[in-house]
Structure 1
Amino acid sequence: MAANSQAEGTMIELVCSTDTDSGVVTVVERVGQNNYVLRGKIPVGNAPRGSVKFTKDGRGYVSNGAGDTISEIDVISNREIGRIKVGVAPRGVGIVPGDRFALVSNSGSNTVSVVDLSHRREVTQVAVGRDPRHMAISKAGDWAYVSIWGSDYVSKLDIQPLTDPMRADVDTSAQAVREVGRMQVRSDAHPYSTALDPSGELLFVANTQSQYLSIFSTKTDKLHAEVDLGSKGSRGIAFSPDGKVAFVSVEDTSEVVAIDVPSMAITRRIEVGPGPRGIAVSRDGGTLYSSAFSRNSSPVNARQPGARQPSSFNPNTVTVVDLSAPTGTARAVASWSQVDVGKGPCSVAIFYR
């Protein structure tokens, strides 16, 4: 552990940045209120994508988009444990409750892999639409919702066989997974990521080529609402711990939009680093982390006429936002800082130990 890390016996917060261009996962420890110490950079495969997903015992998994594998990593010892072969151009990873299986969306194979984590092997692939991306998995482990970027729908997968205690055989459990529904978004909207609110009753869908955020009811699988973000380019979704606020990164305007979930009204626009994609909210709800994916520091044109663009945001960083800063509907810089990571950070995750 780094010399400046927190005292033994206290919880540590590790910010894990998936850095596509460097081929690493950068691990940074939060020390105190707003001090960050580099713990290490873990080499993984080529072009890692998506946030690191963790099992309860701390194993981390990230997809290698150009290597057709996912990496298992240990963020405490800062090393890659191994790689698991999956389909072509994997993007999103989801851990099925129980930590026995993982799902991997293969954008080049038009499939979702079912991976046996204990034996580090792909068991089967489930056919879906064209170019699947990032996914959400229900807390009960009964459904997975996968963004099908190239076919403008969200695939609903029945994954109950993976958590059924009566199914002891790994292979037959995995091969019973199937697509049971399709939730259509707007034509040419290209859904990129999905996220379930803490109640599990609402599925939020970020569409990269539509200015509308899609929200579906998980009880009916029907469209519940749409939120006009004012610009296309939405990428990542995160929630406050109480589920009352949804945060959506908008790459095209370099901002994170805060949405009041009960009313579906935009309450705040927060400027962040250039080209934000992945975002994450701390366990206490006080801090938001946003990956600045843009390859340069040139400011992105503001959507609002006359709005100020900060000149001090840098690429290859994770923006740290203090969510306790004053709110408002105006586009304004919140209290923030930056943490240097690898090149091309596309996603961010938080690990607690």
Structure 2
Amino acid sequence: MRKTASLLAASALWALAQISTAAQAFDPDIRNNTLAVSPDESLAIAGNSQTAELKVYDLAQGRLKAALPGFITPRNIVFAPDGRRFYVTDSSKGLLERWNAGTLTLEASLALGPGAFGSAIDRQGARLYVNNQASNTVSVVDLNAWRVSKVITSFSGPRQGVKLSPDGAELYVTNFRSDKLSVVDTSSLSVLREIGGFNKIRAISISSDGGTLYAANSGDDTLARVDTRSGKITATVAVGREPYGAALRPDGKVLYSGNLKSDSLTEVALPAFRPAAQIGGLSGPRQAISFSMDSRKAWVLNEDLSVAELDLATRRITRELKPSAN
């Protein structure tokens, strides 16, 4: 009995040690931020990997609505297409969390392993893809069954950048370590090919016809334009310092880079693919840029988790949502 008790005690201590280890920040030197706006444009939810809570903003009233605690290294937030739920990855907890957008309460958690990072959801809200930069994998999550249906391998440090083509047939995954894009067939869930030639690739966007992809190169301060059919970079354009964002406006007429070191956005006119303007007054913007569906507004996340609301016609900040109720 004493031996059994000792073994149980040792097992309990080991479990506590694992919990303590898991509670430590995973890769704290890898920093990112995330911003998601609900489909009805009533809520904006923001976070960064240095803050243990998410900020929820009421966009109609322009104020902080709530702060959601309990995170360690939140990496990405995406809303379900119907807006009823949103999903959060936390690389230190190794979890995908499902939250109720109406009550702002946690509904369920799914273990994906430490390193869970960027995520992309399909138009039906049935499948979620999650990058894992620690295990060099992408987890395919069946949201209805709430389980991992497959783990795709052969990536190289996949972080924030992951996007579905508009028709949902292909998934584009950025590999930060190898500076390549992996193209995944979503039917077979296998890697079809790779696209290279990037320089510290960050965020990506895809045109509505699926024929053109845009990527931010933070290594040489450019945005790249890629022909998705040929898999070749067809042009690059110089933007601000250390661009993380490559955000395509819903109307497809303008692309914006979020320039971390320039505290600005660069507006790139399309299809000409040339700089049209610089929008200043921001603080360390990265890839966390969201748009209204009518393409008139943009919401840009600052380093302090405040959100700047931009009038895109005048290129001016019309209001700033503060991360404090005071």
TM exceeding 0.5:
yes
CA distance in 2, matches of 1:212, 1:241: 22
1:316 maps to 263
Q: 1:91 aligns with which of 55, 72, 75?
A: 75
Whether contact under 8 Å (1:136, 1:194) holds in the other structure is yes
CA distance in 1, matches of 2:51, 2:43: 20
Q: 1:48 to 1:85 in 2, by over 3 A?
A: farther
- Matching of residue 343 in structure 1 with residue 290 in structure 2: no
Whether contact under 8 Å (1:64, 1:71) holds in the other structure is no
- Matching of residue 115 in structure 1 with residue 115 in structure 2: no
Query: 1:35-74, aligned counterparts within 5 Å?
Result: 49-74=33-58
CA distance in 2, matches of 1:202, 1:341: 37
CA distance in 1, matches of 2:34, 2:201: 15
Whether contact under 8 Å (2:36, 2:79) holds in the other structure is no
Note the alpha carbon deviations across 1:80-122, whole angstroms, 9 max, x for none: 2112234321110011122111110102211111111111111
| Counterpart secondary structure, 1:253 | coil
1:34 maps to none
**After alignment, is 216-225 or 56-65 more displaced?**
56-65
Whether contact under 8 Å (1:53, 1:93) holds in the other structure is no
Note the alpha carbon deviations across 1:300-337, whole angstroms, 9 max, x for none: xxxxxxxxxxxxxxx10011111232x6xxxxxx2331
Q: 1:153 to 1:135 in 2, by over 3 A?
A: same
1:238 maps to 205
CA distance in 1, matches of 2:159, 2:76: 13
CA distance in 2, matches of 1:281, 1:66: 26
- Matching of residue 183 in structure 1 with residue 152 in structure 2: yes
Query: 1:141-290, aligned counterparts within 5 Å?
Result: 141-161=125-145, 177-186=146-155, 188-231=156-199, 233-290=200-257
What residue identity is the alignment partner of 1:124? A
What residue identity is the alignment partner of 2:108? T
- Matching of residue 79 in structure 1 with residue 63 in structure 2: yes
Q: 1:218 to 1:207 in 2, by over 3 A?
A: same
CA distance in 1, matches of 2:56, 2:182: 32
What residue identity is the alignment partner of 1:255? T
Note the alpha carbon deviations across 1:248-288, whole angstroms, 9 max, x for none: 11211211111112222221112111111122111221100
Whether contact under 8 Å (1:238, 1:247) holds in the other structure is yes
Return 5+ residue gaps in structure 2 as ranges.
1-30, 295-326
Aligned length: 263
2:20 maps to none
What residue identity is the alignment partner of 1:226? E
Percent identity of equivalent pairs:
22
Return 5+ residue gaps in structure 1 as ranges.
1-46, 162-176, 295-314, 328-333
Q: 1:110 to 1:209 in 2, by over 3 A?
A: same
Structure exhibiting the larger radius of gyration computed from Cα positions: 2
CA distance in 2, matches of 1:65, 1:120: 20
What residue identity is the alignment partner of 2:45? Y
Whether contact under 8 Å (1:48, 1:62) holds in the other structure is no
CA distance in 1, matches of 2:152, 2:64: 36
CA distance in 1, matches of 2:238, 2:269: 12
Normalised by the length of structure 1, the TM-score is 0.70
State the 1:143 CA deviation.
0.6
State the 1:230 CA deviation.
4.1
What residue identity is the alignment partner of 1:350? F
| Counterpart secondary structure, 2:219 | helix
Whether contact under 8 Å (1:51, 1:278) holds in the other structure is no
Whether contact under 8 Å (2:36, 2:78) holds in the other structure is no
What residue identity is the alignment partner of 1:351? S
CA distance in 1, matches of 2:198, 2:66: 42
CA distance in 2, matches of 1:131, 1:50: 16
Whether contact under 8 Å (2:41, 2:59) holds in the other structure is no
Q: Cα RMSD over matched residues?
A: 1.9
**After alignment, is 58-67 or 200-209 more displaced?**
58-67
Whether contact under 8 Å (2:138, 2:153) holds in the other structure is yes
Note the alpha carbon deviations across 1:211-260, whole angstroms, 9 max, x for none: 211110001110011001243x1111111122211111121121111111
| Counterpart secondary structure, 2:292 | strand
